């Protein structure tokens, strides 16, 4: 058809479904958030915790018996002085890194899964929550096994598998509630008992034995000065960086500096690594039996606590491990949810994934877990170190360049060069761990960190965004106060995560529904290719 001038008029653009905009939280979303905590969504600023609430929830990480064990083990290899120097270096570096990560998560409301989507692309981001979930599960096995061993040792009765079951059965219900509705209160109540228990260990230990912080050097051959070796050992638990991101998103924007410096920053690591670490070194150097000919045994710290405090020691172990495992199982469930919903498009409540996490933990406990746990954590630790390096460089490069980080599936390419950097460098790091001898065991983490940071810096110029218009963010004045209803789930989420669905005449779709819909993503790719 032509007009009077003989020209063909442009095709009329298809009518868009108008946005359903509101400025208050959807009551259904709020109800769901009491257990879901926006696991697959951007955290709105109305669902943020107060300073004390978030500090108590995160404080669960402070009370792991693992920190006593690892400090004592390091000191038994390189001596107390080198161990303390390495721990202080870790406190400074990790504390400063977490200032950056905590502030970013606080400001953007992103968790590890969403941040990884921005860095690695729609498909490339699958690996991050999968590794995160697996690592959290492994730590839940380790910490839960300590409780079971303590119960079995104290009561001296029953099959250890029954004690494993008891630990899982009481742990899973504790993580069915969200961070601000339950975990903050649970950990706030238990914190004083843990602090009193640590003080009692020091007092009773010094009164019963000759108090000491001096451990003999086992003269293990190393490829670095002792304090550097100690520092690299703590790089193996960079998983706390991922934990930081998933917790710091709960902070209020006005509390960004406090949480960055105190809750998640240097002060936290000073208390956790140096404070509890010195307690572990004290126990190993003071209480007979903790330090054996081959070093610190897996159950040595547990036996020392019970031998000093009796039933009180058992309670201390239960309290400490309950606090840390509440975080482990919570994060395992949220990242299992993010992984499965992304891969299979299966949307189930987080409570279901908490139960699944508990079942997995119990089944792993039934195996000879210690025979593969440390190796599995070493492999996953390499991937985590690489992720941390890439995330830090990404945040530094994008500082001030993005008003809000683009995490919407329909606006991102499937893969980015960062995926290749992450995987290739991590595989190289694992090779160093397995075949690099003492040099590889010592330097794998620092080399992985450096190569990952450099690799991402080189490839970061690649444009990861799809060129699509028709952006609902442009139709609202403030993407953080406006809520837009999703045509799929019929719930309203903050505009910062909303997109238009090419398969539904441009109707609004939330990030959670978009990430679970392959047809949406195919249509978005086609739209971006025009």
- The predicted-structure confidence for 408-465, as pLDDT tens digits, reads as follows 999 999 999 999 999 999 999 999 999 988 888 889 999 999 999 999 999 988 878 8
Rounded CA-CA distance 153/310 in Å is 11
Please report, for residues 92, 199, 325, the alpha-carbon distance to residue 290 in angstroms, rounded to integers and kept in the order given.
29, 19, 24
Contact 97, 241 (CB under 8 A): yes
State yes or no: pLDDT of 10 exceeds 70. Answer: no
> Residue 294: what pLDDT?
61
State yes or no: pLDDT of 301 exceeds 90. Answer: no
The phi and psi torsions of 496 (rounded to 5 degrees) equal -65, -20
Please report, for residues 170, 335, 340, 411, the alpha-carbon distance to residue 343 in angstroms, rounded to integers and kept in the order given.
30, 12, 5, 18
Question: How many CB atoms neighbour CB 527 within 10 A?
Answer: 18
> Residue 6: what pLDDT?
44
pLDDT, the chain, mean: 89
- Mean pLDDT value of segment 395-412: 84
| Confidence at 473, pLDDT banded by 50, 70, 90 | very high
- The predicted-structure confidence for 86-120, as pLDDT tens digits, reads as follows 999 999 999 999 999 999 999 999 999 999 999 99
Rounded CA-CA distance 396/4 in Å is 58
CB burial of 497-523 (b: ≥16 within 10 Å; e: otherwise) equals: bbbbbbeeebbbbbbbbbbbbeebbeb
> Residue 402: what pLDDT?
60
Instruction: Kindly write down the DSSP assignment for every residue of 4-41, as one continuous string.
Output: TTS-PPPPPPPPPPPP-EESS--HHHHHHHHHHTTTTS
Which region among 164-173, 374-383, 436-445 has the lowest average model confidence (pLDDT)? 374-383
Rounded CA-CA distance 146/139 in Å is 11
Rounded CA-CA distance 67/142 in Å is 12
Provide the whole-model pTM: 0.91
State yes or no: pLDDT of 299 exceeds 70. Answer: yes
Q: Which of 457, 335, 339 is nearest to 395 (CA)?
A: 457
State yes or no: pLDDT of 298 exceeds 80. Answer: no
> Residue 1: what pLDDT?
41
> Residue 295: what pLDDT?
66
Q: Which residue has the tokens 């998560």?
A: 105
The phi and psi torsions of 43 (rounded to 5 degrees) equal -75, 115
> Residue 358: what pLDDT?
95
Considering only residues 203 and 375, tell me which one the structure prediction assigns the higher pLDDT: 203
State yes or no: pLDDT of 135 exceeds 60. Answer: yes
| Confidence at 347, pLDDT banded by 50, 70, 90 | confident
Q: Which residue has the tokens 């963010």?
A: 473
Rounded CA-CA distance 61/240 in Å is 9
- Mean pLDDT value of segment 459-472: 87
State yes or no: pLDDT of 188 exceeds 80. Answer: yes
The phi and psi torsions of 469 (rounded to 5 degrees) equal -100, -150
Instruction: Kindly write down the DSSP assignment for every residue of 64-127, as one continuous string.
Output: -HHHHHHHHHHHHHH-HHHHHHHHHHHHHHHHHHHHHHHHHHHHH---HHHHHHHHHHHHHTTH
499 strand-pairing partners: 509
Considering only residues 243 and 174, tell me which one the structure prediction assigns the higher pLDDT: 243
> Residue 156: what pLDDT?
80
- Mean pLDDT value of segment 295-311: 82
The fraction of the chain above a pLDDT of 70, given in percent, is 93
Judged by DSSP in three states, 287 sits in coil
Q: Which secondary structure element, helix H or strand E, spans residue 292, and what is its range?
A: strand 291-292
Considering only residues 181 and 523, tell me which one the structure prediction assigns the higher pLDDT: 523
> Residue 136: what pLDDT?
93
Rounded CA-CA distance 147/153 in Å is 10
Half-sphere exposure of 372 (CA within 13 A, CB side): 9
> Residue 293: what pLDDT?
63
Rounded CA-CA distance 501/509 in Å is 6
| Confidence at 370, pLDDT banded by 50, 70, 90 | low
Judged by DSSP in three states, 408 sits in coil
- The predicted-structure confidence for 51-91, as pLDDT tens digits, reads as follows 999 999 998 888 888 899 899 989 988 889 999 999 999 99
Considering only residues 8 and 245, tell me which one the structure prediction assigns the higher pLDDT: 245
- Mean pLDDT value of segment 159-188: 86
Rounded CA-CA distance 183/189 in Å is 10
State yes or no: pLDDT of 15 exceeds 80. Answer: no
The fraction of the chain above a pLDDT of 90, given in percent, is 62
Contact 238, 273 (CB under 8 A): no
> Residue 8: what pLDDT?
44
Contact 66, 196 (CB under 8 A): no
> Residue 297: what pLDDT?
67
- Mean pLDDT value of segment 304-332: 90
Domain 43-406+417-459 CATH assignment equals 1.10.4160.10:
yes
> Residue 421: what pLDDT?
97
Q: Which residue has the tokens 């240097």?
A: 266
Q: Which of 494, 521, 497, 522 is nearest to 511 (CA)?
A: 497
> Residue 159: what pLDDT?
86
Q: Which residue has the tokens 């590889």?
A: 440
- The predicted-structure confidence for 218-270, as pLDDT tens digits, reads as follows 667 778 888 999 999 999 889 999 999 999 999 999 999 999 999 999 999 99
Judged by DSSP in three states, 295 sits in strand
Question: How many CB atoms neighbour CB 530 within 10 A?
Answer: 7
Contact 381, 445 (CB under 8 A): yes
Contact 205, 211 (CB under 8 A): yes
First to last CA, the chain: 24
């Amino acid at each position: 058809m032509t007009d009077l001038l003989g020209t063909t008029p442009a095709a009329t653009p298809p009518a868009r479904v108008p946005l359903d905009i509101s400025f208050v939280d959807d009551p259904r979303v709020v109800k769901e958030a009491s257990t879901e905590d926006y696991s697959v969504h951007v955290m709105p600023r109305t669902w943020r915790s107060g300073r004390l609430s978030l500090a108590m929830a995160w404080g669960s990480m402070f009370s792991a018996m693992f920190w006593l064990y690892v400090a004592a083990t390091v000191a038994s290899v390189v001596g107390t002085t080198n161990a303390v120097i390495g721990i202080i270096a870790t406190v400074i570096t990790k504390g400063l890194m977490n200032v950056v990560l905590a502030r970013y998560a606080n400001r953007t409301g992103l968790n590890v899964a969403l941040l990884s989507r921005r860095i690695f692309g729609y498909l490339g981001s699958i690996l991050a929550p999968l590794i995160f979930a697996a690592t959290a599960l492994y730590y839940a096995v380790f910490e839960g096994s300590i409780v079971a061993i303590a119960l079995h040792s104290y009561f001296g009765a029953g099959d250890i598998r029954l004690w494993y079951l008891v630990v899982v059965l009481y742990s899973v219900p504790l993580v069915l509630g969200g961070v601000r509705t339950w975990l903050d209160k649970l950990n706030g109540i238990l914190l004083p008992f843990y602090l009193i228990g640590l003080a009692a260990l020091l007092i009773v230990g010094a009164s019963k034995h000759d108090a000491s912080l001096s451990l003999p050097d086992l003269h293990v051959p190393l490829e670095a000065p002792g304090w550097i070796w100690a520092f690299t050992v703590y790089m193996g638990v960079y998983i706390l960086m991922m934990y930081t991101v998933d917790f710091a998103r709960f902070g209020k924007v006005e509390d960004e500096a406090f949480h960055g410096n105190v809750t998640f920053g240097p002060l936290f690591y000073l208390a956790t690594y140096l404070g509890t670490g010195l307690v572990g070194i004290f126990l190993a150097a003071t209480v007979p039996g903790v330090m054996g000919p081959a070093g610190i045994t897996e159950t040595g710290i547990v036996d020392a606590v019970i031998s000093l405090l009796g039933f009180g020691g058992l309670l201390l172990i239960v309290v400490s491990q309950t606090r840390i495992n509440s975080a482990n199982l919570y994060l395992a469930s949220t990242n299992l949810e993010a992984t499965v919903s992304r891969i299979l498009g299966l949307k189930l409540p987080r409570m279901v994934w908490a139960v699944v996490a508990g079942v997995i933990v119990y089944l792993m406990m039934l195996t000879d877990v210690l025979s593969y746990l440390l190796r599995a954590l070493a492999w996953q630790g390499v991937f985590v170190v690489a992720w941390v390096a890439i995330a830090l460089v990404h945040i530094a490069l994008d500082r001030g360049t993005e008003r809000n980080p683009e995490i919407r599936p329909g606006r991102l390419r499937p893969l980015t060069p960062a995926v290749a950097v992450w995987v290739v460098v991590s595989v190289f790091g694992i090779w160093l761990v397995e075949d690099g001898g003492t040099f590889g065991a010592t330097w794998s983490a620092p080399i992985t960190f450096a190569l990952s940071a450099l690799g991402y810096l080189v490839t970061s110029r690649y444009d990861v965004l799809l060129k699509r218009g028709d952006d609902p963010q442009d139709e609202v004045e403030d993407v953080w106060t406006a809520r837009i209803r999703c045509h799929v789930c019929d719930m309203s989420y903050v505009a910062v995560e909303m997109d238009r669905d090419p398969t539904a005449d441009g109707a609004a779709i939330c990030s959670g529904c978009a990430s679970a819909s392959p047809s949406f993503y195919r249509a978005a790719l086609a739209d971006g290719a025009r």
